[in-house]
Structure 1
Amino acid sequence: MNGRPISGASVDARRGRGRRGGPLALLLTTALFAVTACGGGGGSDSDDDKPGSGAGRQKNNEPSAAVVAIAPKDGAKSVATSGALKITADKGRLTDVKVSDADGNTIDGKIVKDGSAWKPAHHLAASTKYKVHATAKDSEGRESAKDTSFTTLTPQNTFVGHFTPEDGSKVGVGMPFSVNFTRGITKPEDVEKAIEITSKPEVEIRHKWYGNDRIDFRPEEYWKPGTKVTARLNLDGVEGRPGVYGKQSKSVSFTIGRSQVSTVDAKSKKMKVERDGKVIKTIPITAGAPGTTTYNGKMVITEKLKVTRMNGETVGFGGEYDIKDVPHAMRLSTSGTFIHGNYWAAPSTFGAQNVSHGCVGLRDVRGGGDKKTPSAWFYEKSMIGDVVVVKNSKDKQVQWFNGLNAWNLDWDKWEK
């Protein structure tokens, strides 16, 4: 060794040859080049197109193409209760829609088959704030949602429906459900949709308007005993006539009691009382006199009065009679037909002569205090909704709307 330092290059070369040798280094370099060349190529083998790749995640994170549109606009006030609420989806399908008021009550509705729109099942309530949440998905399954709120109008003019029978009552098999409105209705279809009548056991129920302020509902035949009937009046927000809105939302239920149908034969002057299809009593009666005959037809008891005043002037008979204490009176028609106790005629009249002004009379005593009289017995055995049929009278058939006498109109004339 001559003592001169060895150059750095010579040292590095020696170290390289001593550790890995020339052929190994060349092989590694060639392999590295091959990997680099493969990874730099294009086409479908790129990792960017495989599940979980950066490009796939980027595509899934793109905004949904679906656009949800809601009318009325967010924050709108004095919104119409019908026709104003519209929810649609563009470039996608609606998947979920919820419309609810401040109490959490939801509005029923349905998404149309192609998912392009949602339609409410009925009108909205008046003076109510609603919240809307709607979600749609585009063709890639990405969701888009929108939330809005609005408040419906406060009507200046309103109407309600007075109904019979009363909620929770038990009535006879002939009782229809009848609603009288405080304002004349000029949009009957909208009001009809807001009244739902159901029964258990289920039976078809149809309706009929009388004028523009009354609607009655009934099945084809008398109700079956034990039937429970429910009427839902969803009138709040219904525009019954221009600028006049319903303000009533109520559910009414009543039950049908035993069957009692009594048949008055004006010719034989007798009445057969049938309970659940069996005759339980035959009672002598007096019907309308030749000049003031009793209506024929099926009549329903709508009112029971232990004592009442009957004045001929109120039903077009002038001053022919004014009896201040008629006992056991039960109304059969609006025009003044009753079946009632009669204490002023001789006992021999009943079953023998027709002497009334159109009512059906039963023997009674003044004040109605004798429970053994035919009139007292019949009064105690009868309930609102029982049927009294009059036949063989020389008069016309009572009109279906004269009282709650729906059974005198053919079934095919009642609307579904």
Structure 2
Amino acid sequence: MRRSRSLVAISAVLGGVLMLTACGGGDDAKPKGSEAGKAQADVDAAAAKDTSKAKITITPKDGATNVGLNDAANVAVADGTLTQVELKTSEGTAVAGKIAADGKSWKPDAALKRSTKYALAATAKDADGREAHENASFTTISPENSFVGSFIPDEGQTVGVGMPVSITFNKPIQDKKAVQAAISVTSSSGQEVVGHWFGAQRLDFRPEQYWQANSTVTMKLALEGVQGAPGVQGVQNKTVNFKIGRSQVSTVDTKTKKMTVTRDGAVIKTIPISAGSPENPTYNGQMVISEKFKETRMDGSTVGFKDSEGKGEYDIKDVPHAMRLSQSGTFIHGNYWGADSVFGSANTSHGCVGLNDAKGAGDPNQPAAWFFDNSLIGDVVNVVNSPDKVVKPDNGLNGWNMGWAEWKAGSAA
């Protein structure tokens, strides 16, 4: 009200000058001090009566820093309805948002950007149509002060019964308990789901046994503002739902050199295979298909198979129907370069499981093509009777090779 008083005072002075000029009055024409105060009070009271009753609240407060990216910015109004809200970056780029149907709140349509200064302006009206305005500016959290988690599976995917929820954080997590407490994974089957930490940056969730077929799994991340390490907080709030498909578990027996494909408890196919040679045996254990490629390059030098000149012992640029089983390079894939006679009779690979196939991945009648077409990400391939060790639980998505008690012991919850 300081500005109003100044304007009134100036008006009073100018008014007095005009009265002296026009009327030629003397000192008796000037209002006494008490009368001037009463006049100002009347003006203030009249202005107050004309002020909007709408009360706008902007979150975060003006000047805030390290603001979250998801639910931190919003506008609410009491005793009125919002009519306009504008959120812009310091460069002037507008951020889309929506006023709620009842006009009482507003929020952005999507997450904000990190290390960005924003200006927010809101307008509301009360029941008598009188406007109220509010403004605030704030700066969002920087990459240096925040962490995010990349995760699989993604929203809407249908996966096999062996697919864990696997979250990889872009920074080491020191307060594992706080971070894990902000993440929930549940199944429509009612199975107990427990998280297990593999080091400081990976957290996997699974039940004791494979997921029940045709169930739905929900993962909720509520990491906004959760401190993962001193001065480093989460910026994600997200809910993901994915579907568990039919139950398919395939057993590769390296002694009989056959793979038995079992779906929903019934054997649907037996396929001759060629596993790792005695010099380079295939890992034992339950391995989960994590990636599928109709064709891909396999270079032995990338997984330690090098000749005397440092070149790969093999470099095949068009391996057909390849599906990853471990991060260290174990695949189950088509093989067109081996003689038909090796499948079912000899183990000849560098550790992968080979199925007979045709060059170009174009023949649907080949065993490898059938298995590729009938497999989902998350299906289990269980290798038995190999002279090699069991694959490590964190080598790929292979936590099923850890007992339930040990798995639970790795939880921070």
- TM-score, length-normalised on structure 1? 0.65
- Structure 2 residue identity aligned to 1:256: I
When residues 153 and 206 of structure 1 are mapped into structure 2, their CA distance, relative to the original with a 3 A threshold, is: farther
When residues 152 and 232 of structure 1 are mapped into structure 2, their CA distance, relative to the original with a 3 A threshold, is: farther
Partners of 2:238 and 2:380 lie apart in 1 by 28
In structure 2, which of residues 337, 342, 365 is the aligned counterpart of residue 344 of structure 1? 337
Aligned to 2:376: 383
Aligned to 1:407: 400
Aligned to 1:51: none
Does the Cα contact within 8 Å between 2:65 and 2:141 map onto a contact in 1?
A: no
Listed as ranges, the matches of 1:165-176 within 5 Å are 165-176=153-164
In structure 1, which of residues 173, 186, 194 is the aligned counterpart of residue 182 of structure 2? 194
Aligned to 1:212: 200
Partners of 2:351 and 2:238 lie apart in 1 by 38
Partners of 1:410 and 1:152 lie apart in 2 by 49
Deviations 1:188-224 (A, max 9, x none): 1111011111110211101111111100000000001
Helix, strand or coil: the match of 2:250? strand
Aligned to 1:203: 191
Deviations 1:36-81 (A, max 9, x none): xxxxxxxxxxxxxxxxxxxxxxxxxxxxxxxxxxxxxx97975999
When residues 103 and 202 of structure 1 are mapped into structure 2, their CA distance, relative to the original with a 3 A threshold, is: farther
When residues 339 and 402 of structure 1 are mapped into structure 2, their CA distance, relative to the original with a 3 A threshold, is: same
In structure 2, which of residues 232, 257, 263 is the aligned counterpart of residue 244 of structure 1? 232
Helix, strand or coil: the match of 1:367? coil
Tell me by how many angstroms 1:102 deviates: 2.9
Partners of 2:242 and 2:203 lie apart in 1 by 18
Deviations 1:307-329 (A, max 9, x none): 00000011011120000000000
Partners of 1:218 and 1:291 lie apart in 2 by 34
Does the Cα contact within 8 Å between 2:289 and 2:376 map onto a contact in 1?
A: yes
Aligned to 2:254: 266
Q: Tell me, yes or no, if structure 1 residue 102 matches structure 2 residue 80.
A: no
Does the Cα contact within 8 Å between 2:61 and 2:138 map onto a contact in 1?
A: no
In structure 2, which of residues 340, 351, 360 is the aligned counterpart of residue 358 of structure 1? 351
Partners of 1:103 and 1:275 lie apart in 2 by 52
Larger Rg belongs to: 1
Partners of 1:258 and 1:208 lie apart in 2 by 25
Does the Cα contact within 8 Å between 2:66 and 2:140 map onto a contact in 1?
A: no
Helix, strand or coil: the match of 1:375? helix
Aligned to 1:308: 296
Does the Cα contact within 8 Å between 2:335 and 2:354 map onto a contact in 1?
A: yes
Aligned to 1:291: 279
Partners of 1:152 and 1:226 lie apart in 2 by 46
Does the Cα contact within 8 Å between 2:63 and 2:138 map onto a contact in 1?
A: yes
Does the Cα contact within 8 Å between 1:155 and 1:243 map onto a contact in 2?
A: no
Does the Cα contact within 8 Å between 1:340 and 1:375 map onto a contact in 2?
A: yes
Deviations 1:316-372 (A, max 9, x none): 111200000000000000000000000010000000000000000000011111110
Partners of 1:166 and 1:302 lie apart in 2 by 13
Aligned to 2:305: 317
Aligned to 1:36: none
- TM-score, length-normalised on structure 2? 0.65
In structure 2, which of residues 208, 213, 220 is the aligned counterpart of residue 225 of structure 1? 213
- Structure 2 residue identity aligned to 1:407: W
Partners of 1:241 and 1:151 lie apart in 2 by 27
In structure 1, which of residues 359, 365, 368 is the aligned counterpart of residue 361 of structure 2? 368
Tell me by how many angstroms 1:101 deviates: 7.0
Aligned to 1:32: none
Partners of 2:75 and 2:255 lie apart in 1 by 62
Listed as ranges, the matches of 1:41-190 within 5 Å are 102=74, 154-156=140-142, 157=144, 158-190=146-178
When residues 413 and 348 of structure 1 are mapped into structure 2, their CA distance, relative to the original with a 3 A threshold, is: same
Partners of 1:260 and 1:389 lie apart in 2 by 11
Structure 2 residue runs without a partner (length 5+):
1-59, 77-111, 119-135, 307-311
Partners of 1:75 and 1:339 lie apart in 2 by 56
Does the Cα contact within 8 Å between 1:155 and 1:244 map onto a contact in 2?
A: no
Helix, strand or coil: the match of 2:180? helix
When residues 334 and 102 of structure 1 are mapped into structure 2, their CA distance, relative to the original with a 3 A threshold, is: same
Aligned to 1:54: none
Partners of 2:187 and 2:212 lie apart in 1 by 10
Does the Cα contact within 8 Å between 2:319 and 2:334 map onto a contact in 1?
A: yes
Q: Tell me, yes or no, if structure 1 residue 394 matches structure 2 residue 387.
A: yes
Please, what is the CA RMSD of the aligned residues?
2.7
Helix, strand or coil: the match of 1:398? coil
Partners of 1:408 and 1:256 lie apart in 2 by 20
- Structure 2 residue identity aligned to 1:268: T
When residues 153 and 238 of structure 1 are mapped into structure 2, their CA distance, relative to the original with a 3 A threshold, is: farther
Partners of 1:76 and 1:168 lie apart in 2 by 39
Tell me by how many angstroms 1:155 deviates: 3.1
Partners of 1:402 and 1:324 lie apart in 2 by 24
Q: Tell me, yes or no, if structure 1 residue 254 matches structure 2 residue 242.
A: yes
Does the Cα contact within 8 Å between 1:178 and 1:214 map onto a contact in 2?
A: yes
In structure 2, which of residues 253, 265, 271 is the aligned counterpart of residue 277 of structure 1? 265
Partners of 1:349 and 1:230 lie apart in 2 by 44
